[in-house]
Amino acid sequence: MSDWIAIGALAVVAVVIPLSMMFISWLIRPSVPEQGKRATYESGEVPTGSSRQVKFNIQYYMVALLFVIFDIETAFIVPWTVIFDGAVEEVGFAQAFAPMAVFIGLLVVGLAWAWRNGAVEWVRSARAERQRVE
């Protein structure tokens, strides 16, 4: 029964700490309304139209998606590099290196495909270009 008490206490702490931090930050934060804070997007994209029909560049999502894919790649490569020496001693270099070579090869093919289809090229809207020129 003491295990359940510990789990319950951990659950209470897991709920109380974030809620108390949010409440304290709500109490002590400054309230300074600015034009930039009231904008629909603070990411630099100039919104057009009403806030219900905001047109934005899908390229933000494409770049974010590619970043996530190649960031997750790191989560797979780092542990592999840690155990690589032991794996080479156990099964040999070719068997230890081949799976990661295939994995990195697939990622390179995916990057080449994304690059060829224009997913990594930044597209500027005509309105942003006009504002930059003016």
**How many other C-beta atoms lie within 10 A of the C-beta of residue 104?**
13
Residue 14 lies in a domain: no
Report the domain count for the chain.
Answer: 1
Categorize the per-residue pLDDT at 91 as very low, low, confident or very high, splitting at 50, 70 and 90.
very high
Most confident listed range (5-14, 76-85, 120-129): 5-14
CATH of the domain at 125: 1.20.58.1610
3-state SS, residue 130? helix
Mean pLDDT to the nearest integer, 9-21: 96
Range(s) of the domain holding residue 106? 49-133
Asked whether residue 103 is assigned to any structural domain, the reply reads yes
Token pair for residue 83?
A: 């155990």
Q: Which residues contact 120 (CB under 8 A, 6 or more apart)?
A: 62, 63, 66, 111, 114
pLDDT tens sequence across 35-51:
666 666 656 666 666 66
Q: What angle do CA 89, 94, 99 make, to 5 degrees?
A: 105
- 54 falls within a domain: yes
Q: At residue 101, what is the residue type? A: A
In a domain, 125, yes or no: yes
The whole-angstrom separation of Cα 125 and Cα 60 is: 12
Taking residues 58-73, report their average pLDDT. Answer: 82
CB distance 55 to 47 below 8 Å: yes
Amino acid identity of residue 6, one-letter, is: A
Inside any domain, residue 128: yes
Residue-wise pLDDT for 95-134, tens only, equals 999 999 999 999 899 888 888 887 777 666 666 666 666 5
Q: How confident is the model at residue 5 (pLDDT cuts 50, 70, 90)?
A: very high
User: What is the rounded CA–CA span in Å between residue 21 and residue 16?
Assistant: 8
The CA distance from 57 to 63, in Å, is 11
Confirm whether pTM is higher than 0.85.
Answer: no
Rounded to the nearest integer, the mean pLDDT of the chain is 81
